[in-house]
Structure formats: C-alpha cells, structure tokens
C-alpha cells in the first residue's frame, strides 16, 4: 500500500486558507494562546458582558458527602487536551476548559430558577440526565426551583412549566423516552428568551442533538444581547454518536446493546433456513456508528453497510456477488444496514432490503434464498438507558450544573479523551462526526465480517488524500490575531484511532 508523503507546509497553507475564508464564528471565538502551540478554546462567561457580578463561596464545600474529597474544586487553569496522541515535537494544540465545581459561584441557591428542556429525537438516558440535573441542583447546591419545559423548544411559549423535584424525578431513569416530551421542527428564539425573562429563569439546560445545540447557541446570543444573567447550557444528545469532538454520546452504548438482540434474532432465523439471509436495519441516516459498533460487538454479522462507505450491487466485487459467495460458503448470512446506506441504490434499483424481494435476488443470481428482514429502528432508542449510560448521564448532568453555577454560559459539556470539558457550541455544531472509512476501526469491521470494502484502490487513495487535507485545514485563530498551529500529526477526527 502506498504511503502518503509527509506534507511540506501544512500550517502555512491552513492559516492562509482560514484567512481567506474566515468562519462565521471567528468573531465569537474566545481563544487563548500559550506555550508550545497551546490553545484554549474557551467558553463564554457571564462576566464577559456583566463584569461586576458578585461571587459566593461554593456551597459544596459544606456538603458532608464531599467532605472526604481531597480537592473539592477544579483548578481554574485546568484544561483538557483535544488530542491525546502526540509526538515529541508536536504543538500542544487545542484544549478545552475542564468541567467541574469551582471555588466561587455566581448564583446563590435561593436565587436560582433553573429550567430543563429536551429537544430532537429520543435517546436512552434523557430521563437520567433530567433526574441528575434536578437532584444535583438540589443536593449539591441547595437549589429548590427547577422546572421542566414540555414538548421541546416550542414548549417555552406554548405550554406551562412542570415543577421538578428530587421526589418527582426519583424513578424516571428507569423509563425510556423523556418525561418532558420533545419535538422537532422550528422554534422562535425571541419568544423563548421572552419566556426566560418572564419566568425569571436564570439557568437553562438544553438537552438535544446538533440541531438543538445550534438553537441553544442562538438562544445564548440573544440572552447575551439582552444582557441577561442567565446561563445557557447544552447537553449533547445523539443516538447516532455523530457529534464531533466528544468521546461518545450518552445512550449510544444502550442502543448498540439493544441492536444485539435484533442481530441475534436475524442470525437465528438465517441459520435455520436454507440460504437464509437475516437483514437488520439500524438507525443512522448520515453516520454509521451504531451499525459499525453493533457489527463489531456481535461477531455474527457477515456484512455491514453504512452511509459513509459506498457500495454497488451488481457485477464483479458488488454486494450481490459477495452475498452469493457467502451463502455458498456458509449457507446463511446476516447483513446489518444503517438506514442511510446506499440510499440511492436501494431506492432506485433494488428494493432488496425494504420489500424483502426474494424473487429479485433469484432473478439476479439464479439462487434461491430465504430473507428475513428485521427493523428495530425505534426499539433501540426507546429503551431505558443501561447501567454504563446511567453513570455517564450522571456525570454529564453534574458537569453541566457545576459550569452554570460557576457562571459559564453558551457552552456544551461532554467528555473529551475521558475528562469532562466545557466546549464552545460552534465546535460541536460546525461539523458532524462520521465513520472514517480510512481509519483502523472500519478496517476492524471489514476484518471481522470479511466483507469486501466495495471500493477500488484508487477510491481508497483519494479518500485518504481528502482526509489528510481536511485534517490539516483544521486550524484556528488566536485572540491576538496569530494563527494557532495545528500539530503535524493532527488527526482532526474525534474518536478516530
């Protein structure tokens, strides 16, 4: 395999490209430079536009549960590195502010009026995040006013609020969905901020995916424009695990686990029939992470199809040829298809998956098959979250409310390389995370299924080149105007290995 030549001047060209096409966020970025190429992509703080705000001692220091903690509070200078793999001469690169409780807070418990809203599609763990926000605010900070907004963003101006107490949310983590309800579709930012003002809400926790976080970012801008003391905090949610920068989204583990049940059923059905094919359709309109991880976890899958990896049906090296070969070799097979995979092909030419058209396959291959199609799409996201997601959701909720109490606003919270961090909205909304099919993880899938990659050598080389270009263009501008240096081994894609 051809190795790529080391790039000669990636940093200079990246800086020049950025200068030519300044991103719409350039003015809003809060970047701080340090030694050896260190960059902090900081999040806004209420004091950015309300410099005189008073502070108070953090009530956590009097909490008996925390009395044994060696260091109660996160050092104000602590940051979390975005890139964990470095070389001897690497620039230190991008960092985010470390999440956690601060020594001084900007809200007194009695003054806090918090609101929680869930938006977008469902995801296991939504109720756990709600529960832990409520209990955390009550138990750690002595807050006693928390309301839920029903029905997503629109609920701010079309519904009454519901009072949330530790008692009312006590068991909700054992249920799927969201007790608050959710919605897609548009919303009116001005009306939402009017509602925050009218109700005296000064901390708002917004749980949702990329669309929701973009909405939260605009809400934050409006809150700031009006000069309100209101912390706007995003908690990222996506069943597809397609949010950039963060390690993993909550509910993803649960979804992959639930998908195993469908794959097992498909395997049993396929094994029991002559030339049995079990097809499982999983969520993932744009990103194939659920299909990829469910395939790797199962070991019963013969072929995994995801939106990021193009494939073709007929002819040499096509899917049908592979299916025929695998059936001849082992008498049955399991195919996992992410819903966005080969959309054009499936719609236009085959109806292989959607109509269970067994005659079609027979016509094409002269080969009798028994096809069983399982569609657990909504089942994998409607379940309650598993133990590991419950713990994850608890930490997310705690990190979120520590940030709000400490006066940060206009940020989202998530683990980056295992440590929770406060991330500016633009970093998680500017780009969707996708499976990189030139990374080792996808190779692991191909190895485990032994399926062809359905790509020519030339396609693979072109993709590698495109990835390389993208990674080196991922640069940024410091507050003093100088370009922050992207390190020579910047891999640019969160979660990639």
Ligand X SMILES: O=P(O)(O)OC[C@H]1O[C@](O)(COP(=O)(O)O)[C@@H](O)[C@@H]1O
Ranked by CB distance to Mg ion, the top (closest) residue is 209
Candidate list 177, 215, 278, 284; residue touching ligand X; CB under 6 A:
284
183: Cβ contacts below 8 Å, ≥ 6 apart:
119, 151, 152, 153, 154, 155
Site residues (CB under 6 A) for ligand ADP, limited to 126-165: 152-153
59: Cβ contacts below 8 Å, ≥ 6 apart:
105, 109, 140, 141, 142
Q: What is the C-alpha separation between 295 and 442, in angstroms, rounded?
A: 11
Asked whether position 209 contacts ligand ADP by CB under 6 A, the answer is yes
What is the C-alpha radius of gyration for the chain, rounded to an integer number of angstroms?
A: 25
87 is in an annotated binding site: no
Asked whether position 185 contacts ligand ADP by CB under 6 A, the answer is yes
Q: What is the C-alpha separation between 126 and 173, in angstroms, rounded?
A: 8
239 is in an annotated binding site: yes
Asked whether position 136 contacts ligand X by CB under 6 A, the answer is no
Please identify, using beta-carbon distances, which residue of 284 and 415 lies nearer to ligand X: 284
Using CB under 6 A, count the residues that bind ligand ADP.
18
Site residues (CB under 5 A) for Mg ion, limited to 197-216: 209-211
Asked whether position 215 contacts ligand ADP by CB under 6 A, the answer is yes
For residues 412 and 205, the answer to whether their CB atoms sit within 8 Å is no
Residue 356, Cβ density class (10 Å: 0-12 exposed, 13-18 middle, ≥19 buried): middle
Asked whether position 208 contacts ligand ADP by CB under 6 A, the answer is yes
For residues 44 and 229, the answer to whether their CB atoms sit within 8 Å is no
Site residues (CB under 6 A) for ligand X, limited to 332-371: 339
**Nearest residue to 377 (alpha-carbon basis) of 271, 258, 461, 286:** 258
Asked whether position 119 contacts ligand X by CB under 6 A, the answer is no
Closest distance to ligand X from the beta carbon of 317 (Å): 28
**Nearest residue to 393 (alpha-carbon basis) of 169, 75, 79, 224:** 169
468 is in an annotated binding site: no
Asked whether position 389 contacts ligand ADP by CB under 6 A, the answer is no
Candidate list 143, 283, 304, 335; residue touching ligand X; CB under 6 A:
283
Candidate list 93, 100, 101, 121; residue touching ligand X; CB under 6 A:
121
Asked whether position 187 contacts ligand ADP by CB under 6 A, the answer is yes
Closest distance to Mg ion from the beta carbon of 293 (Å): 19
Q: Is the dihedral of CA 366, 367, 368, 369 positive or negative?
A: negative
Q: Which stretch binds ligand X (CB under 6 A): 238-246, 258-266, 414-422, 433-441?
A: 238-246
Closest distance to ligand X from the beta carbon of 304 (Å): 16
| Residue 283 interaction partner, one of Mg ion, ligand ADP, ligand X, none, beta carbon < 5-8 Å per kind | ligand X
Q: How far is CA 257 from CA 254, 298, 302, in A?
A: 5, 9, 18
Site string for ligand ADP, 107-126 (x = CB under 6 A): ------------xxx-----
Q: What is the C-alpha separation between 207 and 220, in angstroms, rounded?
A: 14
Asked whether position 120 contacts ligand X by CB under 6 A, the answer is yes
For residues 278 and 303, the answer to whether their CB atoms sit within 8 Å is no
Q: Which stretch binds ligand ADP (CB under 6 A): 14-22, 206-214, 283-291, 470-478?
A: 206-214
1 is in an annotated binding site: no
Q: Which stretch binds ligand X (CB under 6 A): 49-57, 140-148, 192-200, 236-244?
A: 236-244
Contacts of 451-458 with C-beta under 8 Å, sequence gap 24+, read: 451/302, 451/303, 451/304, 451/322, 452/317, 452/322, 453/309, 454/309, 454/310, 454/311, 454/312, 454/317, 454/318, 454/319, 455/309, 455/310
Q: What is the C-alpha separation between 300 and 323, in angstroms, rounded?
A: 15
176 is in an annotated binding site: no
Q: What is the C-alpha separation between 109 and 115, in angstroms, rounded?
A: 14
Q: Which active-site residues does the annotation give?
A: 240
The DSSP code sequence of 198-224 is HHT--EEEEEE-HHHHHHHHHHHHHHH
Which helix H or strand E contains 44, and what residues bound it? Answer: none
Asked whether position 300 contacts ligand X by CB under 6 A, the answer is no
285 is in an annotated binding site: yes
| Contact set with Mg ion (CB under 5 A) | 209-211
Question: Binding-site residues, please?
Answer: 121, 184-185, 209-212, 238-240, 283-285, 339, 378-381
Question: Binding-site residues for ATP, please?
Answer: 121, 184-185, 209-212
| Contact set with ligand X (CB under 6 A) | 120-121, 123, 209, 238-240, 242, 283-285, 339
Question: Binding-site residues for substrate, please?
Answer: 238-240, 283-285, 339, 378-381
| Contact set with ligand ADP (CB under 6 A) | 119-121, 152-153, 183-187, 208-212, 214-215, 218
């Amino acid at each position: 395999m051809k190795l790529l030549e080391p790039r000669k001047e990636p940093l200079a060209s990246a800086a020049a490209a950025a200068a030519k096409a300044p991103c719409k966020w350039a003015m809003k970025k809060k970047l701080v430079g340090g030694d050896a190429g260190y960059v902090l992509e900081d999040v806004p703080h209420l004091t950015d536009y309300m410099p005189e705000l008073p502070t108070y001692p953090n009530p956590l220091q009097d909490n008996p549960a925390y009395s044994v903690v060696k260091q109660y509070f996160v050092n104000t200078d602590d940051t979390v590195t975005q890139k964990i793999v470095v070389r001897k001469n690497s620039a230190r690169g991008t960092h985010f502010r470390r999440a956690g409780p601060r020594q001084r807070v900007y809200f007194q418990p009695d003054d806090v009026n918090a609101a929680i809203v869930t938006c977008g599609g469902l995801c296991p763990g939504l109720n756990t995040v709600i529960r832990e926000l409520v209990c955390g605010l009550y138990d750690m900070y002595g807050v006693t006013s928390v309301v839920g907004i029903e029905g997503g963003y629109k609920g701010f101006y079309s519904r009454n609020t519901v009072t949330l107490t530790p008692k009312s949310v006590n068991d909700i983590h054992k249920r799927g969905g969201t007790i608050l309800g959710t919605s897609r579709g548009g919303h009116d930012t001005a009306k939402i901020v009017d509602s925050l003002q009218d109700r005296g809400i000064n901390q708002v926790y917004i749980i949702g995916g990329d669309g929701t976080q973009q909405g939260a970012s605009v809400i934050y801008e409006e809150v700031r424009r009006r000069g309100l003391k209101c912390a706007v905090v995003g908690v990222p949610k996506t069943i597809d695990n397609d949010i950039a920068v963060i390690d993993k989204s909550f509910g993803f583990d649960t979804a992959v686990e639930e998908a195993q049940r469908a794959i097992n059923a498909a395997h049993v059905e396929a094994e029991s029939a002559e030339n049995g094919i079990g097809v499982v359709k999983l969520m993932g309109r744009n990103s194939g992470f659920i299909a990829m991880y469910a395939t790797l976890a199962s070991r019963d899958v013969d072929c995994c199809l995801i939106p990021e990896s193009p494939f073709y049906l007929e002819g040499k090296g096509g899917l049908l040829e592979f299916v025929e070969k695998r059936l001849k070799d082992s008498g049955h097979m399991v195919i996992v298809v992410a819903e966005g995979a080969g959309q054009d092909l499936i719609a236009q030419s085959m109806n292989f998956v959607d109509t269970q058209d067994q005659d079609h396959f027979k016509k094409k291959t002269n080969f009798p098959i028994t096809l069983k199609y399982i569609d657990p799409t909504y089942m994998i996201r409607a379940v309650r979250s598993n133990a590991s997601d419950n713990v994850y959701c608890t930490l997310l909720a705690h990190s979120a409310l520590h940030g709000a109490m400490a006066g940060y606003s206009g940020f989202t919270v998530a683990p980056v390389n295992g440590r929770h961090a406060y991330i500016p909205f633009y970093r998680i909304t500017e780009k969707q995370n996708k499976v990189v099919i030139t990374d080792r993880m996808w190779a692991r899938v191909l190895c485990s299924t032994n399926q062809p990659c359905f790509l020519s050598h030339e396609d693979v080389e072109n993709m590698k080149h495109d990835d390389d270009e993208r990674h080196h263009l991922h640069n940024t501008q410091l507050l003093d105007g100088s370009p922050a240096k992207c390190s020579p081994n910047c891999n640019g894609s969160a979660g990639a290995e």
